[in-house]
């Protein structure tokens, strides 16, 4: 009795899934949407968004005009970070360049610079455009570091080393490349949108066409409808994950350093949660247009703003930080960054996986329960 029951259930689920595959094959646009869009967006975003600051325009006011001052200017502008955009002797003119936006920083080497350096009291003045705070901070740090290095070289071995020194070494993403940081966030963001959107659309379509009523009149149970309908999209979703990671590795050298099991499990749980969310939306709205809007808003905004994809979780105000715990994309982004960049495994990432499991279970329970109610 039990085994025939199970066999029937599996048969009905497979019937649903098979039918859904036929729909997907009929409407290739769904497949394009699902597979091409994430890759396209990944490439656009990956190349387009960069938080790296380099090739900054520097205006130089060299009032000293000695070999030493010229050497410092050469050293600072020889780096990738700064480009010599203007050179003169009047600080006022240099500031005008700053105001016009022709330069983001001004370096002033005052009269008597080389003598001061010889006495061990050389001074360099840096004027920053603070209108773009992020750029100013980064430019300031870089300029300081460059001048620091140059200064030490001028002093030669004559000066004793400072008694205390901080040496910073960035692990996991030593060059501070944005792509490494962005790709995991982007992958979560894109998967969230596509998964929620596609499910919301396909289930809402059954309501709209009236075929849901026909389904309800058959012995196919609600849970069987849900599982059968989601299976093919789960397959597509996992394919997306592979695709996005491959493109990430190929174009942006995103490594995979950690546990593949944790990665696969995280992706699976995240997708089930997203599909469940899409299902819940379509069960409530029963309308393709409304479902599309709700699905886009409810998946896009939180997974962009509250996942750590663009804005670090630590920078969020405390109430939002608490809310972000409810956003599956946050946990998936953490999982992805952990596995890809930090080389983490299940031992570190299990809290994220538990959170993803809870979300998926909640969505599926709510959706199936809403579904249980008969037509009215």
How far is the C-alpha of 127 from the C-alpha of 119, rounded, in Å? 24
Nearer to other proteins, 17 or 98 (CB): 17
Nearer to other proteins, 172 or 216 (CB): 216
CA 156 to chain centre: 44
Residues lying near other proteins in the complex (CB under 8 A): 8, 11-12, 14-16, 18-19, 22-23, 26-27, 209-221, 374-376
CB 213, min distance to other proteins, A? 5
- How near is the Cβ of 245 to other proteins at its closest, in Å? 32
Dihedral sign for Cα 229, 234, 237, 239, please: negative
How far, in Å, CA of 2 to CA of 192, rounded? Answer: 37
Give every CB contact of residue 235 below 8 A, 6+ residues apart in sequence. none
Residue 291: CB minimum distance to other proteins, A: 18
Between helix 288-305 and helix 178-209 the angle, nearest 10°, is 160
The kind and range of the H/E element at 106 are: strand 105-109
Q: Please report how close the Cβ of residue 12 comes to other proteins at its closest, in angstroms.
A: 6
**Minimum distance, C-beta of residue 17 to other proteins, in the bound complex (Å):** 10
Q: Tokens 């058959």 identify what position?
A: 218
Taking the least distance from each CB to other proteins, the nearer of 228 and 266 is: 228
Contact at 8 Å (CB) between 200 and 278? Answer: yes
Q: Which is nearer to other proteins, 90 or 211 (CB)?
A: 211
Our CB check for other proteins shows the closer of 86 and 207 to be 207
User: In the complex, what is the shortest distance from the CB of residue 286 to other proteins, in angstroms, rounded to a whole number?
Assistant: 14
What would the two tokens of residue 62 be? 């060299």
CA dihedral 20, 26, 28, 31 (to 10 degrees): 10
Nearer to other proteins, 23 or 96 (CB): 23
Pure H helices in the chain: 2-26, 28-48, 67-78, 91-100, 113-119, 133-155, 178-209, 211-217, 222-252, 260-285, 288-305, 318-324, 328-337, 346-372
CB of 109 closer than 8 Å to CB of 69? yes
Q: Which two tokens stand for residue 97?
A: 């360049």
Smallest separation (angstroms) from other proteins to the CB of 215: 8
Task: Output 154 or 216, the one with its CB closest to other proteins.
Answer: 216
Nearer to other proteins, 3 or 158 (CB): 3
CB 106 within 8 A of CB 58: yes
Give the separation between CA 237 and CA 332, rounded to whole angstroms: 14
Least Å from the CB of residue 305 to other proteins: 37
Q: Is 67 or 217 the residue whose CB approaches other proteins more closely?
A: 217
Q: How far is the CB of 374 from other proteins (least distance, A)?
A: 5
């Amino acid at each position: 009795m039990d085994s025939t029951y199970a066999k029937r259930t599996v048969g009905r689920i497979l019937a649903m899934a098979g039918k859904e595959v036929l729909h997907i094959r009929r409407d290739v646009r769904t497949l394009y949407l699902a597979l091409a869009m994430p890759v396209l967006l990944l490439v656009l975003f990956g190349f387009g968004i960069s938080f790296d600051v380099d090739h900054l325009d520097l205006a130089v006011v060299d009032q000293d005009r000695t070999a030493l001052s010229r050497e410092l200017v050469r050293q600072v502008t020889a780096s990738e970070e700064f480009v010599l955009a203007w050179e003169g002797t009047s600080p006022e003119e240099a500031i005008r360049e700053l105001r016009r936006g022709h330069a983001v920083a001004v370096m002033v080497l005052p009269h008597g610079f080389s003598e001061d350096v010889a006495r061990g009291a050389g001074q360099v003045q840096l004027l920053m455009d603070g209108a773009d705070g992020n750029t100013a901070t980064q430019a300031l740090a870089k300029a300081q570091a460059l001048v620091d290095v140059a200064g030490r070289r001028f002093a030669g071995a004559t000066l004793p080393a400072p008694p205390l020194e901080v040496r910073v070494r960035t692990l996991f993403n030593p060059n501070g490349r944005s792509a490494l940081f962005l790709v995991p966030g982007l992958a979560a963001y894109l998967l969230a949108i596509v998964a929620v959107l596609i499910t919301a659309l396909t289930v809402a379509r059954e309501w709209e066409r009236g075929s849901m009523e026909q389904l309800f009149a058959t012995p196919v149970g609600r849970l069987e409808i849900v599982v059968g309908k989601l299976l093919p999209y789960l397959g597509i979703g996992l394919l997306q994950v592979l695709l996005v990671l491959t493109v990430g590795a190929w174009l942006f050298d995103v490594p995979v350093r950690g546990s593949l099991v944790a990665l696969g499990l995280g992706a699976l749980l995240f997708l089930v949660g997203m599909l469940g969310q899409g299902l819940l939306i379509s069960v409530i709205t029963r309308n393709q247009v409304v479902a599309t809007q709700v699905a886009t808003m409810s998946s896009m905004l939180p997974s962009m703003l509250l996942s750590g994809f663009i804005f670090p979780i630590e920078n969020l105000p405390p109430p939002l930080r608490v809310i972000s715990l409810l956003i599956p994309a946050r946990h998936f982004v953490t999982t992805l960054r952990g596995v890809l960049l930090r080389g983490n495994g299940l031992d570190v990432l299990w809290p994220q996986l538990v959170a993803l499991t809870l979300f998926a279970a909640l969505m599926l329970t709510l959706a199936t329960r809403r579904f249980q109610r008969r037509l009215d």
